[in-house]
Amino acid sequence: MYKIPLAQPDITDLERKAVLEVLKTPYLSLGSKVKEFEKEIARYTGVKYAVAVNSGTAALHLIIRALDIKDNDEVITTPFSFISSSNCILYERAKPVFVDIKRDALNIDPELVEGSITTQTKAILAVDVFAYPADWDKLEKIAKKHNLYLIEDSAEALGSEYLPPHQNFGGGGKGKKCGSFGNAAIFSFFPNKQITTAGEGGVVLTDNKEISDFCYSVRNQGRRQDNNKWLEHIRLGYNYRMPEVCAAMGIVQLQRIEEVLKKRAKVASLYNEKLKDFEEIELPNNMSSWFVYVIRLNEKYEQEDRDRIIREMRERGIECSNYFYPIHLQPYYKKRFGFKQGDFPNCEYVSERTIALPFYNNLQEEQIDYIVETLKKIIKQ
Ligand SMILES: Cc1ncc(COP(=O)(O)O)c(C=O)c1O
């Protein structure tokens, strides 16, 4: 147990009450709460349909199935992400084709995407890394030009907004919400995210009725979407259903989203203020929705310095992490595809130097002072 954890959900009596109410009913699955949560999250994001499931990974898998991405199809994606954004491609025996990121934005570099398109390419799957939106304007143009599907992994970006041109991204209610780009998008509700659905959860978001109908069916064992035909399974499906207690918590968490985003912005601005003159590091981009607070050591540092800093922070009770380890260098990917160090230099450069500091709604200023002081001391050693 760390004195200061990396992340912590913000659960109030309102969420506890909502969950207890569900527990008093006979409907713990397939009830009205999931439908209500879907309606609210679709409205908030500005899309027509939402399909709630039991993880962000399940949501990504459903999109891959819905777009009929399969054997030997190629999907262009980023190596700087959580493993799910490329595992979901492998689930259907398709091939992730990695394209390097931009060092400053941390997202897939649209200028490099076209060079990786082949006759096998079926989709581009971009990630709003750390809630910073991918460059959707450019990606949409490329997808349209080459007749490719576009998938948004917005697992980390609930509440974030995109305002093209990309550099002018500022949020503040003026942009288009992350989770509304491409043919379909996802959010995750794992407890380190902006909101959680009692531990695990995810959602598919889309304006396309065919995609949403397919996802409703496949999350529920491939059933026909007709209550009278409950035991008819018309396609291969899974149990990816979201339980009612999770949806009930999600509804309340979503009602609190503005408060949540404000609290997170306050924590980020305290970090920014206290770290701004510390020349050994670079601060994160400004966000309209903060998922994590990830600093980057400057050029003179190497991976072993970063690893030492994280180790020593942890020894002092402060949980830090190295978000993200490049997907192409994960043991499974190296073994299966033969990737090696140097394949995606920007991703590797960033990965070797990033440190995620503790970040959550109710992180207190005294705790931030302790984290910042300890960090500065350890880095200067
Ligand atoms: C970018 C990204 N994609 C996908 C996922 C998968 O979400 P889940 O953990 O809910 O399966 C995550 C979750 O942490 C993520 O950060």
pLDDT band at 122 (very low <50, low <70, confident <90, very high): very high
Helix (H) or strand (E) holding 88: helix 84-90
Q: Does pLDDT of 287 surpass 50?
A: yes
Kindly state the average pLDDT of the residues 292-300. 97
Q: What Å distances lie between residue 205 and 88, 225, 260, CA to CA?
A: 16, 18, 21
Ligand 1 pocket, residue 282 CB under 6 Å: no
pTM of the entire structure? Answer: 0.97
Kindly state the average pLDDT of the residues 29-48. 97
Q: Does pLDDT of 7 surpass 50?
A: yes
Ligand 1 pocket, residue 188 CB under 6 Å: yes
Q: Which of 60, 75, 84 to mutate to test the pocket of ligand 1 (most atoms within 8 A of CB)?
A: 84
Residue 171: predicted pLDDT: 47
Q: Does pLDDT of 45 surpass 80?
A: yes
Strands 202-206 vs 49-53: parallel, antiparallel or unpaired: antiparallel
Residue 229: predicted pLDDT: 79
Lowest mean pLDDT among 58-67, 226-235, 299-308: 226-235
Q: Does pLDDT of 93 surpass 70?
A: yes
Q: Which atom of ligand 1 is nearest to the CA of 129?
A: 1
Ligand 1 pocket, residue 128 CB under 6 Å: no
Residue 327: predicted pLDDT: 98
pLDDT band at 1 (very low <50, low <70, confident <90, very high): confident
Three-state secondary structure call for residue 52: strand
Residue 165: predicted pLDDT: 61
Percent of the chain with pLDDT over 70: 97
Kindly state the average pLDDT of the residues 321-335. 97
Ligand 1 pocket, residue 246 CB under 6 Å: no
Ligand 1, atom 8, residue with closest C-alpha: 56
Quick one: DSSP state of residue 167?
G
Kindly state the average pLDDT of the residues 226-248. 91
Residues in the chain: 381
Kindly state the average pLDDT of the residues 245-258. 98
Mean per-residue pLDDT of the chain:
95
Q: Does pLDDT of 346 surpass 70?
A: yes
